[in-house]
Amino acid sequence: MRMSLLGEQAFIDDRAGSVQVRSSRAVALVAFLAVHAGSPQSRQRIAGVLWPDSTDAQALTDLRRELHYLRQVMGDEASLVVTPRDLCWRDTKTCRVDVRVCDNERKAALGYPLNRTRLVG
């Protein structure tokens, strides 16, 4: 799976060749998690960032809806780590997010040690 967040936003299933994006909030959720890859983010924090004008209860409900959609799109992909309290993104060989690729390549070009999350899959 490839997830394009820069430019045209799309989730591309490489096996089926299909593009799957229905929700700009799902794209925002992946972007937020990818930027914070390897660091679990509380559901409460994510809900507050993505739905700042909603009540806490409504924001968490909206987060659950987007998470449900995202899990359907991603299938058994291991990049999205879900616990009852937190969500986390981790790099895998089977799912590439352009934001992560760009950040890792920038760091490599500048000679910084790569702080990659453990590759899984």
State the DSSP H helix or E strand holding residue 89, giving kind and residue range, or none if neither.
Answer: strand 86-89
Domain ranges for the chain, please list them.
2-110
For helices 56-74 and 43-50, the axis angle rounded to 10 degrees is 100
pLDDT reported for residue 67:
95
How far is it, in rounded angstroms, from Cα 28 to Cα 113?
27
| Residues in contact with 45: Cβ distance below 8 Å, sequence separation at least 6, in sequence order | none
3-state secondary structure of 65: helix
Q: Could you report the per-residue pLDDT of 21-56, keeping only the tens digit for each?
A: 768 899 999 999 999 999 999 999 999 999 999 999
Give the pLDDT mean for 77-87.
Answer: 95
Q: Which one is the CATH code of 2-110: 3.40.640.10, 1.10.220.150, 1.20.120.1200, 1.10.10.10?
A: 1.10.10.10
